[in-house]
Structures are given as structure tokens and as C-alpha cells.
Structure 1
């Protein structure tokens, strides 16, 4: 994107972010109509993902999930835009954390913690707000966007309240830099690995699924305890993230035990409330038989 167009888009997003929530959600209602009915954004992807994930649910049930997902997706887009200008107080009122002591007790004992989550609920506000709650270094690993200018903009927004954003390829370097400083490393566990890096498949939502082994590899290397952020949507624009301990001592775990644990935790969340996962994501790009041995 050229500099002038990027500048105009940046200004527009900033102005939209300054709107009150009630007006943002009116815009979200219109955006839902555009995404779902007019442009039919990735409708085929969502339809197939739901059909393969919930073969035992009726077509009517899956259609209901699909429609509710698009309503949530529209809300998520507007809430992410609001991140540009939301105040720390507003964020704390709308995004609460429960059981943070499951992390702080390890930090106080001098151990760093690995926190895992997925593209579920509002996955943007959690990393934005947690540094204020813990008053510790929080490193969030992310996959950079192909558009450099937008990547810089989004990274700046995500780091507004102290979050340290770490490009995926720099993860090990950053961990080494912070090895003597107890910190929280946040990783998204449901990204799709590229074909060449698909070393492990597990059963996830009724189908073989390639899973990144990054969480397990880092946990085993550092012996850092692993927790899971279970995000729950309380009502429109309000969330709660419950910290659930997964693994205390990774060095005592068998191979793939950690990967299975955090994948199962996300699956449980989706099974209970499927509307809030990113169904438009092309999660199943290939199967085990597609991988060359």
C-alpha cells in the first residue's frame, strides 16, 4: 500500500476507534450484513469447516453457528479497531482476568511462564491488557503481516500498554535475552504450520489437524510451566479470561503431551460455545497423507 493511501486509512481507523461503543456496534450490525449477505466473505470456508468439525450436528444447527459467528466476527473487527484508542480503564472494565495467581506465583518464585491461547473470543484485548494486571514483562509471539506498514501499525497498537511484541522468527532470540528475567511468553496455539513444518497431527474437531510444536519445544527447553487462557464472552463487548494451569514441569512430560493438552483445551471451549472461534481461518489446508515422509 502506498504511503498516502496508508496515511488516509490510518486516520480513518483512528477516527472510527474514537466512536462510543454503542455506535461501533451499530456499525458492526451493518458490517455483519455486508460480510454475511452481500460479500459472503469466506462463506464456503466457514461452511466446510463447520460441516467437518460437527458432523453429528444438524445442518440447521451448523447454519445457526455460522450466522452467529459472522455477527461475532463483525463485533471483533470493530473491537479490534477500538484498541487504537481504548483507555486502560475501559479495557479493564470490559476484559477481566481470573486466577492470575496461577501465573504470579511462578513469577514470584523466579520462573517464567508460557501462556497459550487461540483465535477464540476477543484474542486481541487479552495481550493488550495483561501487562497492566501483572506488572511484569509480557512477550507475545505473532506472525508478521505481509504488508509492512500495516504490520507496524498493528504492532504499535498491541504494544500500547507495555506488551512486548515478538515476531515468530525471533522467538528464541528474545527468550534468550529474557532468560534471567521472569516473564510471561504468550503463544497462539491454533496457527496452521506450513506444509514443510507439519511434523505432528492430532485429532482436533473430528479431523486430523497439523499443530505447531512451538509451545512444547519452548516449554521443554526452558522447563517453564504452561497455562491456558480460556476466554469467555460474557456479553457483547465484555470478556473474561480464566487462567487454567496445564503443565507444572514440562521436563516430566512425554512427547506431545503438552501439545495435546493445549489443543484439547481449545477444543473443549469450541465444543461448548462454537460461535466465537475463527471459523473463516483456513485451518485444514492439508492432510497427513499430503506430507512427504
Structure 2
């Protein structure tokens, strides 16, 4: 019953036109930033630690810019429920799809890597509309099972397959001889059971996932970064693909992991406001 209520509410909101949704977003910004101060301490602490060279005033301005973007991400993600394919294509420009398609033409699968940056949610729809080959989106299940199921149904509208992290191996083995893309959102916070590898990321010692590298080595598939940046026009993005690794066997241990995390850091430093600063990214510390 609760799941149906959540699904119905999201459906009704998604029917609203973008101009109306952005009006809601403007109100949400005021509520989240000035009234309830949603995770404001977390955001400011993350920014202070990531940009110690910036003044308090500059860090506060970055936080404000993030909170102005964050509600747009929320309403745009809800809009995914009913958005038309033509509108998805119009709102996310694929700069160089040939960078992924060339691997498919060689009969290879692709290990895709992205981050909680720009509108990665809408990016699932755009990726789904790019090719008819299998599109796997690797995700970490939410604690709220009802919301998890509703949102996964929304993400699959154009053919993506949502795969929990712990089930990725069986799916990739099944597709071993079929061109496909497995997309990892690789900047999440792993548990100590999932990883023991720390590296410098955004000026801080950071526990990072190594699963992307492990799957790349196992399958010998190339690793391609999917950078979803925001254009000046509100609600419009671009997606640029960069092949970071052609042959995983040519790289040493943890080198692939450092490559894609360093790419994410360069992207964040260029336009910090489009990363998910409200995420408690550095809650895991090295055990002594």
C-alpha cells in the first residue's frame, strides 16, 4: 500500500511541466538552505576539508550554489517517471557516443564509470536510449525497500537493468560474449567489508570502492568514464565519454581505481556545485 502511494505521488508530480517544477525547486532551495538547513553542517564540513585554500565566504558561496542545484536534481529525477524519450535526448547531449560504440563494434563489453555529479539519474535514461545492447546500472540498494523498488522501476523505463552490487558478477558472466555496458556510480562510500583501500581524494584520505577495477580485470573490458556536466541553460546537460583504460591487464593493482577517482576529482574541482556534497562521503576512517 505504501509503495503504491509513493508511486502514485511521484507519477502525479511528474506530470507537471518543467517550468512549474522549477518553481517548486526555487521554493525548495529556500526551505532546504535557510529553513530546515538540510545537512548544512555536513555540506560545509565537506567543502572546508575539500577546499582548505578557499575562504569561509567562498566555501559558503559554493554551498549556496550546491543548494540551488540540488532541488533541480530532485524535481528532474521525479520527472523521469513520465518524460518522453525525445525530451531526454533534447536535454542531455551526447558529445561523443562513438567512444562507447567503437568498443561494442569490437565485440567488447564496457565498464562504465560515473559519479554523483550533474544529473546522473537522468543520465540513466539517456544511456538507455543510446544503444539497444544491454545496459546494466549497478546500484547500492536503499534501506527503504518501497522507495528503492519505486525508483528502480522509474529508472528502467527505457530498457536499463538495475543490478544490485552483490549480483553484478552473475550478470556480467551471462553477458560475457555480448557487447554491453555496466555503469558503476563509483564515488559511493563502501563498508569496511567491501573495501580496505584508502587513497587521497579531494584533499582527504578516502576509503574507495575497488569493485570497478576488479570487474574490469575479470572481464578484460575497457573502462570508460561518463561525465555528465550541466550546461548554462537550466535542465540541460551534456554527456562526454572518456576511455580511461583500453586493456586492464596493462595496469598495476589499484591503478585503475586511482585513475577513475582522480578523473572524478578533476571534474568536481572544475565545477564543484554539481557534486552531491550532502553525502557523508568521509564517514569511514582508517582503522588503526
Give the TM-score of the pair, scaled to structure 2: 0.97
Superposed structure 1 runs of 4+ greater than 6 Å apart? none
1:260 aligns with 2:222: no
Task: Find the aligned partners of 1:120 and 1:32 in 2 and give their Cα distance.
Answer: 18
27-36 or 142-151: which moved more? Answer: 142-151
The answer to which of 237-246 and 191-200 deviates more is 191-200
Equivalent residue of 2:120, what SS?
coil
Aligned length: 287
Q: Which runs of 5+ in 2 are unaligned?
A: none
TM value normalised by structure 1: 0.96
Q: 1:236 aligns to what SS in structure 2?
A: coil
Q: Does 1:230 align with 2:227?
A: yes
> Which residue of structure 2 aligns with residue 51 of structure 1?
48
Alignment of 1:196-207 (within 5 A): 196-207=193-204
Kept in 1, the 8 Å contact 2:6–2:150? The answer is no
Matches within 5 A, 1:1-293: 3=1, 5-234=2-231, 235-288=233-286, 291=287
Q: Counterparts of 1:8 and 1:69 in 2: how far apart (Å)?
A: 30
CA offset at residue 197 of structure 1? Answer: 2.8
Which stretch shifts more, 161-170 or 145-154?
A: 145-154
- Root-mean-square deviation (Å): 1.1
